[in-house]
């Protein structure tokens, strides 16, 4: 394929992003409207999109055969985190803004960008060298590649709405608060209890007017020992309650609606009978799934409208000082460069290097890598897509670095048209140079 064709494929893939974002820009929405779009997207539309795509595209056998794909994704994501941490420190970027850059490099736009690019490549007559065998077809290759991409999307969304939110959220000392809660909870409970010696003495006084002093002493001893055991049980129960509260405080911020949707979809995929019943047309279960799928179809345009609307809001000057998300124009430009290099250079180079190393030296780790060239191409393209558009949604949800996230995304998608055209040609060349054919 000629280089100009790769440019056409990339621009066609980004056409929807540009058009819908431009519509959002022209609407001149205020921040209240953008917040509403973000809430609707995170609470309803994004979970619906993830659940519908995962339950339709994946099955249990595919998950078992491609176990290396999510592992490789996590490892390469950690490489991106190391890059942004090292580069951000060298550039002396603020910690909060460096966190935003880390999320932008770690999480790519697999859901929206990968599918049109793969379909465009499959429709080209010059891409027949990507077919698995003589019985393979371009349509089957495209469907297979999309399924591979959905495995990446599972990990992408699973980590984006858990680890990504955790990375973006500024530390609030929850761990120390939890420990203080345990201590104060126990101290309050113990302060309400009288000293054990006083309990025993009072018990003896209450039992003193009995028939014999010895019997009264024995009764007092039994009462005091029973109360001691009861006190120990109460303290232990309070410790367990405080520990559970501390664990819940740490986990609950990660249990976002998109993450719960991914977990529910994976649960359905792991139960073939449930998956078949859900996707069987003509049933009430399919009506439920179709309703979810309909909501999911609205996710991409709503998210893109929010992106365009955010770009239409001028960046306001913020007061500097500790505890704010203020950054200078110079820091913003350095952050954009950090993300662009990490997203379009560091991640693709490490991904292709790892795939070629596995292909040549450890093919037993991923047998499908030798048997299906579309797998190599899919993983390579996924590593070079721009940052996920939900970066802006997460920033809006947390109420920090919103305009900075919009600036990063606008530069990433503007440069991504050219970057993807170049990188897709390189990926196709690498696939053709291997021993697949």
| C-alpha count within 13 angstroms, C-beta hemisphere, residue 436 | 27
Residue 199, pLDDT above cutoff 60? no
Higher per-residue confidence, 78 vs 115: 78
pLDDT given at position 253: 62
The DSSP call for residue 133 is S
Q: What does the DSSP assignment read for 303-338? A: HHHHHHHHHTSPPPP---STTS----HHHHHHHHHH
Residue whose C-alpha is closest to residue 309's, from 412, 405, 169: 405
Most confidently predicted of 84-98, 247-261, 379-393, 406-420: 84-98
Name 138's Cβ contacts closer than 8 Å, sequence gap at least 6.
122, 123, 127, 128, 131
Q: What does the DSSP assignment read for 386-419? A: PBPTHHHHHHHHHTSSHHHHHHHHHHHHHHHHHH
**Residue 33 pLDDT class (50, 70, 90 cuts):** confident
CATH classification number, 3-170+256-433, choose in 1.20.1440, 2.30.230, 1.10.3470, 1.20.1530: 1.20.1530
pLDDT given at position 228: 63
| Percentage of the residues of the chain whose pLDDT score is greater than 70 | 74
pLDDT given at position 350: 92
Q: Are 377 and 114 in contact (CB under 8 A)?
A: no
Rounded CA separation 313/212 (Å): 88
**Residue 220 pLDDT class (50, 70, 90 cuts):** low
Residue 95, pLDDT above cutoff 70? yes
Q: Tens digit of pLDDT for each residue in 138-170?
A: 877 877 787 787 778 777 777 776 677 777 776
The backbone torsions φ and ψ at residue 323, rounded to the nearest 5 degrees and listed phi first, read 85, 5
> Mean of the pLDDT values across residues 17-29?
79
**Residue 233 pLDDT class (50, 70, 90 cuts):** confident
Minimum mean pLDDT range among 346-350, 392-396, 417-421: 392-396
Minimum mean pLDDT range among 193-202, 326-335, 355-364, 394-403: 193-202
Q: Collapsing DSSP states into helix, strand and coil, what is residue 108?
A: strand
The backbone torsions φ and ψ at residue 387, rounded to the nearest 5 degrees and listed phi first, read -60, 150
pLDDT given at position 302: 86
Q: Collapsing DSSP states into helix, strand and coil, what is residue 387?
A: strand
Higher per-residue confidence, 154 vs 200: 154
Residue 184, pLDDT above cutoff 50? no
Partners of 387 in beta bridges: 108
Rounded CA separation 17/311 (Å): 13
Alpha helices by DSSP H, 160-298: 165-168, 174-191, 196-207, 213-251, 257-269, 272-279, 284-297
> Mean of the pLDDT values across residues 99-125?
79
Residue 179, pLDDT above cutoff 50? no
Q: Tens digit of pLDDT for each residue in 36-73?
A: 887 888 889 888 988 888 888 778 877 777 777 888 88
pLDDT given at position 251: 66
Q: Are 68 and 366 in contact (CB under 8 A)?
A: yes
The backbone torsions φ and ψ at residue 372, rounded to the nearest 5 degrees and listed phi first, read -140, 105
> Mean of the pLDDT values across residues 184-207?
41
Higher per-residue confidence, 261 vs 326: 261
Place of tokens 């690019």: 117
Q: Tens digit of pLDDT for each residue in 263-321?
A: 898 899 999 999 999 999 999 999 999 999 999 888 878 877 877 776 666 555 454 44
The two three-digit tokens of residue 60, written as one number: 């249990």
pLDDT given at position 187: 30
pLDDT given at position 276: 93
**Residue 14 pLDDT class (50, 70, 90 cuts):** low
Burial, 61: exposed, middle or buried (Cβ in 10 Å; 0-12, 13-18, 19+)? Answer: exposed
* Helix H or strand E encompassing 36: helix 31-40
Residue whose C-alpha is closest to residue 155's, from 72, 81, 98: 72
pLDDT given at position 280: 92
Residue 175, pLDDT above cutoff 60? no
Mean pLDDT of the chain: 75
């Amino acid at each position: 394929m000629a280089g100009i064709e790769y440019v056409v494929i990339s621009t066609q893939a980004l056409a929807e992003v540009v058009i819908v974002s431009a519509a959002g820009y022209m609407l001149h929405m205020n921040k209240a409207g953008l917040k509403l779009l973000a809430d609707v997207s995170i609470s309803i539309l994004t979970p619906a999109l993830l659940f519908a795509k995962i339950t339709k595209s994946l099955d249990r056998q595919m998950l078992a055969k491609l176990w290396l794909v999510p592992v490789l994704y996590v490892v390469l994501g950690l490489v991106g985190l190391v890059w942004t941490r090292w580069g951000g420190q060298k550039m002396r970027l603020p910690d909060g803004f460096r966190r935003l850059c880390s999320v932008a490099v770690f999480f790519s736009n697999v859901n929206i960008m990968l599918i049109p690019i793969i379909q465009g490549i499959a429709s080209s007559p010059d891409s027949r060298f990507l077919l698995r065998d003589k019985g393979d077809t371009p349509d089957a290759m495209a469907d297979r590649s999309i399924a591979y991409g959905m495995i990446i999307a599972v990990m992408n969304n699973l980590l984006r709405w858990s680890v990504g939110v955790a990375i973006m959220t500024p530390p609030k000392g929850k761990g120390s608060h939890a420990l203080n809660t345990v201590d104060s909870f126990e101290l309050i409970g113990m302060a309400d209890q009288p000293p054990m010696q006083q309990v025993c003495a009072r018990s003896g006084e209450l039992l003193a007017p009995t028939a014999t002093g010895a019997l009264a002493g024995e009764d007092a001893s039994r009462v005091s020992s029973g109360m001691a055991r009861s006190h120990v049980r109460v303290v232990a129960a309070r410790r367990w309650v405080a520990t559970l509260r501390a664990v819940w405080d740490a986990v609950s911020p990660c249990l976002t609606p998109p993450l719960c949707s991914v977990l529910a979809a994976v649960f359905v995929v792991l139960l073939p009978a449930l998956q078949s019943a859900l996707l069987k047309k003509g049933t009430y279960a399919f009506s439920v799934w179709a309703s979810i799928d309909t909501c999911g179809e609205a996710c991409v345009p709503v998210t893109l409208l929010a992106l365009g609307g955010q770009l239409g809001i001028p960046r306001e000057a913020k007061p500097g000082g500790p505890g704010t998300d203020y950054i200078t124009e110079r820091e913003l430009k350095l952050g954009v460069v950090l993300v662009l290099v990490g997203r379009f250079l560091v991640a693709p180079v490490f991904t292709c290097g790892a795939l070629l190393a596995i292909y040549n030296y450890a093919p037993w780790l991923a047998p499908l890598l030798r048997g299906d060239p579309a797998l190599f191409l899919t993983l390579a393209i996924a590593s070079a897509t721009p940052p996920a558009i939900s970066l802006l949604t997460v920033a809006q949800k947390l109420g920090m670095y919103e305009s900075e996230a919009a600036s990063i995304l606008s530069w990433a998608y503007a440069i991504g048209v050219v970057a993807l055209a170049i990188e897709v040609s390189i990926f196709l060349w690498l696939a053709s140079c291997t021993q697949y054919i």
